[in-house]
Amino acid sequence: MIRLDRVTYSYPDQPMPALSDFSVAFEPGELVLVVGPSGSGKSTLLRSLNGLVPHFYGGRWAGRAEVFGRDPVKLAPRGMADLVGFVFQDPEAQFVVDTVEDELAFAMENFALPETTMRKRVEEVLDQLTIAHLRNRRISTLSGGEKQRVAIASVLALQPEVLVLDEPTSQLDPQAAEEVLVALRHLNEDLGLTIILSEHRLERVVQYADRVLYLPSLGAPPVLGSAREVAAILPLVPPLIDLGRRLGWHPLPLTIKEGRTHARKLAGRLAGSENRQNGSPSPSNGGQPPIVAVRGLHFGYEGHQALRGINLEVRPGEFVAVMGRNGSGKSTLLRLIVGLLKPQQGQVTVGGLDTRRADLGELIRMVGYVPQDPGSLLFNDTLAAELAFTRRGHGLTADPEGSSALLQRLGLESVAARDPRDLSGGERQRAALAAILVANPDVILLDEPTRGLDYAQKHALAELLLGLKREGRAIVMATHDVELAASCADRVVLLAEGQVVVDGPARAVMSNSQVFASQINKLFRDPRYLVVDDVLRALARGTNAARSEE
Amino acid sequence: MQSDDTFHPVVWTTWLAAAALPALTTRNPLYLILVLLAAAVDFSALGRRSPVARSWRALVRLGALVWLITIPFTALTAHYGTLVLFWLPAAWPVIGGPITGEALIYGIVSGLSLMTLLLVFAVFNVAVDQARLLRMAPGFVYQAGIVSAIAVAFVPQMVASWQEIREVQQVRGHRVRSIRDLLPLIMPLLVTALERAMQLAESMEARGFGGHASPTDATVQAADQLALLGGLAALGVGAAGSGFWPQQQLLNALLVGAGALALIWSFWDQGRRVKRSRYRRWAWGRSDRVVMAASLVAVLIWVIAWLGHGEWLFFYPYPPYSPWPAFQPVAGLAIMLLAIPGLLLRPAKEALR
Amino acid sequence: MTMRRIAFLIGILVIVTALGMASATAQAPGNRAGLVVRYGDGSHDARCVTFSEASITGEELLRRSGLNAVIDTSSGQGGVVCSINGSGCAFPQESCFCQCFGAQCEYWAYYHWSNGQWEYSSVGASLYDVANGALEGWSWGPGNFSTGTEPPLVSFDQVCGATATPTSTATATAIWTAPASQQSSPPDGTFEADQNMLNPGSCTVLRWAIFNATQVTLNGTGVLAQDRKEVCPATTQRYTLSATNPAGTFTREVAVNVTASAATPTVTAAMAASTRPPQPVQSPTQRPAQDSTPQADTTALVANTPALAGTASLLGMAPAQATLTSQATTNPAAALAGAIAAPDTLAGLLASQPTPVVIATAEPRRQLDTGGYPTPTPILLAQVVLGQQEEGAMSTGPRVEGSRDGAATAAGSYDRTFRPGLLMGYAAFLIMAAILLLAGAWAVRRRQAASTTEPRK
């Protein structure tokens, strides 16, 4: 039994309490999903279950917490470690030693368990998480998904009864996320572990949850109910649930399978509508010369051939989504386009300039590159200073009005005077974008911009990018996010093993793919329906047509 | 539980002591060169390229740089000796005067000893997984050891971050032209490192790092602290006394001895209460014993030479001593023993990739 | 990046070297050696001597220093230093060992600066080779065949600092005290009488210490620069001390009044005064303190010297550092016996109450000749008779390192040339290095053969 009783907690130096008169109770053996916008107190709640709040962070605590009979506030994390296992978001920063096996043993050593017990548990945990083949590997050589599984295994070694995970898949690509979630589900169903995890991407996990805890905002009362109940009231949901809500499907489908029955019924009504390609604005500028032209590009490093014979053209006003597995060369391609890397064979031309010969300063006037981690970009004291820095770096004069107009457009004018590193994840992403856009590049490159963003932030970003596209800028985005690509992209390029597998209109490519299909697409198996709007529009047309027929 | 192609960490630590002794006690270039060669033999047999060991290359480059700076520094500022190479006008401050061959030799040799020490440590770094070594650490330094191991493991991460940050800022138009231009690179690096460190600290805390502290009563704790402070005080007073009042030999010796004993007892008692178990048990193979014996013999020979036959190790090119180094074959043999690990290492399949 | 910086540093070094060589070719290379002289009263002098030869003898160094050194070369065994800058024994009027009586001797002891301390020279000045960068010391004080009074602790750089410019001729540059030929200021000093009021028939002592002078006269008679004189004026007397050098003159007057009602003279011993010149032995019982800072080991030696019965044992001692010339005077034996029978330790001297200055002298006070040579005082020269190198004579010298085959030459320095004896060691080194290289190659080959390439990560 996990219970929080009227807990009020505020971080040190924060006037507003993170948890205010918070009460919740979880049953043993259930899988609880904690959802809510960024900054609504999810992390605080999770950390209070094992005593990190308040022991690691300080602050003021009022109320009672109880986890299976133990008081985390009294016992501190050390006293709770063999009952509650905690896994964090960043797979890079959870490991103490370099070998998998030693890492698994680390927690047990701290508890002074006898050697035979330790050995037995290591074997068990390796099997439970199916990482036995990684036993002697160095952790730094593992992939993201493998690392997170090792992290889970290392806390599992103490045989806790509760597993708490704070956004464990937000830094992972979809395949790795899938691996982790499958493992969690297995732990919950077969071993009966109570699992409490917070996650932004509901579509991955909502179907497994016994209950969902929704924290609307800081200090607001939580909503706890079954997955369907809560999904009905969440403001932002995955496209499937969104469609289900809008069309009033009952019971609300949480998985594609559940939705298919409804979809089949709907398909009949949609069958009569026109067979027209609709949806995101189609690329209409086929006549213009490409602003980015990649021909016969080969690039490799340290014995590994990253790109083999890439051909790509991007026209102004085009939105290209580059997709592919980790290690397929997406980031390398972006770096080659911006001129950070020089092609070993072939040619990359940006705005008429050959990247091999042109000066980087000239290239970056045309190309803006937003990195995966906005933290590696931001360092100034205020956001406004950040923009001024970029302008200086490009040799442009300061343009305060233009900069403030840009901030307004990005919804950041209220935080212009704040330290950009203090901003939330989504705001940081937008701040990085602002810092790049202030130089008015014609080509914008984005590398995985949606990692760690919740739906609202993703939505805002998508709107922004579409606006930029309409201004005539070319956008190339490397992403795993299928939904984002479905809603924004004109073209999709699939990379695998350094080669282009598919290059075509988004609609066509994504509907033909099994892996990169959007939820709506998987639901209807129809290239016409990629996003919710497609369906609704078709429905409206169909209804009109039916009415007109009547 | 042997899964690696290397020896017991304690064996390697002994080897380190044996290899570092010549570098610390002599400036005779002949011995130092032999130590370098022996260390190279060991390194070529190890040949492992773990990510942590990769940073040793930077260390070696640093050592070479320091060496190259030492040579002209010594040669130009020490005007002493009979083999005058050329004269600088004596009116010049610091470097004016005769530039002597002895000073040049001394500069070369000083740098050589530093370089040797650095390389010996680099080989040790490659040979021993630090985490394994730390697990051998006694209780009271275990935590400090873990922390430093993590700090070292952070280095390659930070190097990768640095690369990325540099590229990203480059793309923003940033050029490094002066020291101030490094701020946009260093700030994100530091903050990223800090954030990672915070999360790692959380993760360690959540896994019970720090030992399962059994509640200790106040008196035991007070006794420990008192012993620690008292021991330090006694040690300090004894050391000061031996400097300022050398006549009270007995008193000084007593103070130092008592202080050391108090410190040792305090550490042992504290370590005893940190409950920890060990996962890994190193089996002592025959090769381990051979290398251990060889290293101990080398240490012994060298200590005897150092304390008893100082003239074997002595090299000081300035007058009235000779600029020609002498070579004592016995000391040379002791150094050759250091190459034994390299010959005995079994290059098994790289179990640790 | 690093390579570029290394190249930059090397470039700087090359430029500096080129500049140095360009300017250095204009000068002749010069060797420098330092010379420190400590007088009996504790004052000292230092010279930096430049010479163009590879090395010169210690005796030559002294000669070239500009300090007025009188050296007796009559014996076939090298030069004997009699006086330096007017301090010592007046040769040829008296022997250079005018202050030596058996075991106790005051003389000019010869030291070398080595390993951060003064090392008593085991060879004579005319046999010791002074090389570039050497620091030599001469010190007047009590001692015997193996020790003397150490010169003050200085370093080569203090004596021959960077400010000294090498010149092509052998010149001496004064550091502390301007030599007589290069003075820029008039002499200075003190002159006083122990008592200014005397009863008739009693005596008092005049003390003076003058620096920087080429000639010092007292009432017209030439005297030592630092000395004392006992006077027994019958009537009030004025004493005028006059010191001259090219830069000026220093004169001071002291009046000693003789009145009937003057207090009983009590002589203040002023044992610790630093203006004490070297004095001949005055009485069998008392030996005035000759210097304010005698060394502890010297006094210990003095205290431990066994009492000598007579001159026979005096002559029987064969000091390594001293050869005694025959004493012309008649009293030394008795005086010596008495002196040795009651050795005064320094501690005793310092702590003792002022003792009356001995008045009666067995021999008349010597007159100073106006040639500028002062009252001769006995000195002893460090000299070795070839072939008689005594081990015991070596005081705390450095361990004989670097010369495994005992190739220390008679000059006492280490053999800095390449000796064939080193070749054996070098051969052993090369063999061992070759073995190690082969072992390394074998290890590399074995590893390459056995292991597979690492997967790239």
Residue found by looking up tokens 């009949």 in the block: A268
CB A495 within 8 A of CB A294: no
Q: How far is B174 from chain A (nearest CA, A)?
A: 5
What pLDDT does residue B323 have?
Answer: 83
Nearest chain A residue to B146 by CA: give it.
A96
Q: How far is B65 from chain C (nearest CA, A)?
A: 7
- Asked if A303's CB is within 8 angstroms of C456's CB, the reply is yes
- Asked if A421's CB is within 8 angstroms of B277's CB, the reply is no
Nearest chain B residue to C433 by CA: give it.
B34
Query: Taking CB atoms and an 8 Å cutoff, what residues of chain B touch A102?
Result: 131-132, 279-280
Closest CA relative to residue A321, chosen from A484, A130, A129, A544: A484
What pLDDT does residue A5 have?
Answer: 93
Q: How far is C167 from chain B (nearest CA, A)?
A: 10
Segment A164-178 shows an average pLDDT of 88
What pLDDT does residue B52 have?
Answer: 55
Q: How far is A49 from chain B (nearest CA, A)?
A: 11
What pLDDT does residue C414 have?
Answer: 59
Topology alike, domains A2-235 and A292-497: yes
What pLDDT does residue C193 have?
Answer: 87
Segment C411-436 shows an average pLDDT of 80
What pLDDT does residue C380 have?
Answer: 29
Whether the CB of C433 is below 8 Å from some CB of chain B: the reply is: yes
Of A106, A364, A376, the CB nearest to B192: A376
CB C272 within 8 A of CB C350: yes
What pLDDT does residue C86 have?
Answer: 78
Write b or e for each residue in B40-50: b if 16 or more Cβ atoms lie within 10 A of its Cβ, otherwise e: bbbbbbbbbeb
- Asked if B184's CB is within 8 angstroms of A140's CB, the reply is no
Nearest chain C residue to A138 by CA: give it.
C457
Q: How confident is the model at residue A281 (pLDDT cuts 50, 70, 90)?
A: very low
- Asked if C457's CB is within 8 angstroms of A303's CB, the reply is no
What ipTM was assigned to the predicted interfaces of this complex? 0.85
Q: How far is C299 from chain B (nearest CA, A)?
A: 21
What pLDDT does residue A139 have?
Answer: 85
Closest CA relative to residue C151, chosen from C60, C23, C46: C46
Nearest chain B residue to C112 by CA: give it.
B320
Q: How confident is the model at residue C134 (pLDDT cuts 50, 70, 90)?
A: confident
What pLDDT does residue C365 have?
Answer: 38
Segment A387-407 shows an average pLDDT of 85
Per-chain mean pLDDT for chain A: 87
Residue type, A406: L
Per-residue pLDDT reduced to its tens digit, A361-390 = 888 889 999 998 888 888 888 888 888 888
Per-residue pLDDT reduced to its tens digit, C57-93 = 888 888 888 788 888 776 655 677 888 887 888 777 7
Write b or e for each residue in C304-321: b if 16 or more Cβ atoms lie within 10 A of its Cβ, otherwise e: eeeebeebeebeeeebbb
Per-residue pLDDT reduced to its tens digit, A479-524 = 988 889 988 999 999 998 889 999 999 888 888 777 778 888 888 8
Of A155, A367, A393, the CB nearest to B174: A393
Superfamily, domain A292-497: P-loop containing nucleotide triphosphate hydrolases (3.40.50.300)
Q: How confident is the model at residue C415 (pLDDT cuts 50, 70, 90)?
A: low
Q: Which chains touch B (3 or more CB pairs under 8 A)?
A: A, C
Q: How far is A379 from chain B (nearest CA, A)?
A: 6
Name every residue whose Cβ is closer than 8 Å to that of residue C297 and which is 6 or more positions away in sequence: C147
Of B44, B322, B336, the CB nearest to C435: B336
Per-residue pLDDT reduced to its tens digit, A214-235 = 998 887 889 999 999 999 998 8
**pTM for the complete prediction?**
0.61
Q: How confident is the model at residue A182 (pLDDT cuts 50, 70, 90)?
A: very high
Of C9, C29, C419, the CB nearest to B87: C29
Query: Taking CB atoms and an 8 Å cutoff, what residues of chain C touch A302?
Result: 456
Nearest chain B residue to C415 by CA: give it.
B322
Q: Compute the CA torsion angle C380, C382, C385, C386 (nearest 10 deg).
A: -160
Nearest chain C residue to A301 by CA: give it.
C456
Q: How far is B158 from chain A (nearest CA, A)?
A: 12
Query: Taking CB atoms and an 8 Å cutoff, what residues of chain A touch C456?
Result: 302-304
Query: Taking CB atoms and an 8 Å cutoff, what residues of chain C touch A304?
Result: 456
* N-term to C-term CA, chain A: 60
List the single best residue of B130, B172, B196, B275 to mutate versus A (max A Cβ within 10 A): B172
Sign of CA dihedral A337, A341, A345, A351: positive
Whether the CB of A141 is below 8 Å from some CB of chain C: the reply is: yes
Q: How confident is the model at residue C101 (pLDDT cuts 50, 70, 90)?
A: low
Per-residue pLDDT reduced to its tens digit, C180-233 = 444 567 888 888 888 888 888 888 888 887 777 777 888 888 777 777 788 888
- Asked if C131's CB is within 8 angstroms of B353's CB, the reply is no
What pLDDT does residue C394 have?
Answer: 33
Q: How far is B104 from chain C (nearest CA, A)?
A: 13
Query: Taking CB atoms and an 8 Å cutoff, what residues of chain B touch C433?
Result: 33-34, 37
Query: Taking CB atoms and an 8 Å cutoff, what residues of chain B touch A81?
Result: 206-208
What pLDDT does residue B199 have?
Answer: 87
Ranges A19-23, B319-323, B333-337, C151-155: which has the least confidence: C151-155
- At residue C211, φ and ψ (nearest 5 deg) are -120, 155
Ranges A122-126, A171-175, B145-149: which has the least confidence: B145-149
What pLDDT does residue C386 have?
Answer: 26
- Asked if A375's CB is within 8 angstroms of B207's CB, the reply is no
Whether the CB of A547 is below 8 Å from some CB of chain C: the reply is: no
Rounded Cα distance, C191 and C195, in Å: 12
CB B69 within 8 A of CB B131: no
Nearest chain A residue to B148 by CA: give it.
A96
Considering A282-291, C151-160, C209-218, C312-321, the range whose residues carry the highest mean pLDDT is: C209-218
Q: How confident is the model at residue C23 (pLDDT cuts 50, 70, 90)?
A: very low
Whether the CB of A217 is below 8 Å from some CB of chain C: the reply is: no
- Asked if B197's CB is within 8 angstroms of A96's CB, the reply is no
CB C50 within 8 A of CB C18: no
Sign of CA dihedral A424, A330, A92, B137: negative
Residue found by looking up tokens 């800058």 in the block: C85
Segment C28-38 shows an average pLDDT of 77
Query: Taking CB atoms and an 8 Å cutoff, what residues of chain B touch C6?
Result: 64-65, 68
Whether the CB of C454 is below 8 Å from some CB of chain B: the reply is: yes
- Asked if C422's CB is within 8 angstroms of B326's CB, the reply is yes
Write down the domain spans for chain A: 2-235, 292-497
Ranges A21-25, A168-172, A255-259, C378-382: which has the least confidence: C378-382
Q: How far is B176 from chain C (nearest CA, A)?
A: 13
Nearest chain C residue to A143 by CA: give it.
C457
Nearest chain A residue to C454 by CA: give it.
A303
Residue ranges of chain B whose pLDDT lies below 50: 1-3, 349-353
- Tell me the residues of chain C between 101 and 140 that have a Cβ less than 8 Å away from chain B: 114, 131-134
Pick among 3.30.830.10, 3.40.50.300, 1.10.10.10, 3.30.300.10: CATH of A2-235: 3.40.50.300
Segment C411-426 shows an average pLDDT of 72
Q: How confident is the model at residue C452 (pLDDT cuts 50, 70, 90)?
A: low
Task: Determine whether B128 is exposed, middle or buried from the number of CB atoms within 10 Å of its CB (0-12, 13-18, 19+).
Answer: buried
Task: Please check the confidence at residue A261 and state whether its pLDDT lies above 50.
Answer: yes
Per-residue pLDDT reduced to its tens digit, C232-283 = 888 888 889 888 888 888 888 888 888 865 544 443 433 333 334 444 433 3
Give the three-class secondary structure for A16: coil
Per-residue pLDDT reduced to its tens digit, A410-451 = 888 888 888 888 787 778 888 898 899 888 899 999 999 888
Segment C438-450 shows an average pLDDT of 85
What pLDDT does residue A272 have?
Answer: 53
Of A108, A151, A378, the CB nearest to B188: A378
What pLDDT does residue C192 have?
Answer: 86
Query: Taking CB atoms and an 8 Å cutoff, what residues of chain B touch A118?
Result: 277, 279
Query: Taking CB atoms and an 8 Å cutoff, what residues of chain A touch C457?
Result: 140-141
Q: Chain C residues contacting A, CB < 8 Å?
A: 456-457
What pLDDT does residue A549 have?
Answer: 64
| Helix boundaries (H) for C37-134 | 58-64
Question: CA–CA distance from C257 to each of A546, C219, C237, C267 (Å)?
Answer: 150, 16, 6, 16
What pLDDT does residue C102 have?
Answer: 56
Query: Taking CB atoms and an 8 Å cutoff, what residues of chain B touch A375?
Result: 188, 191-192, 195
Task: Please check the confidence at residue C44 and state whether its pLDDT lies above 70.
Answer: yes
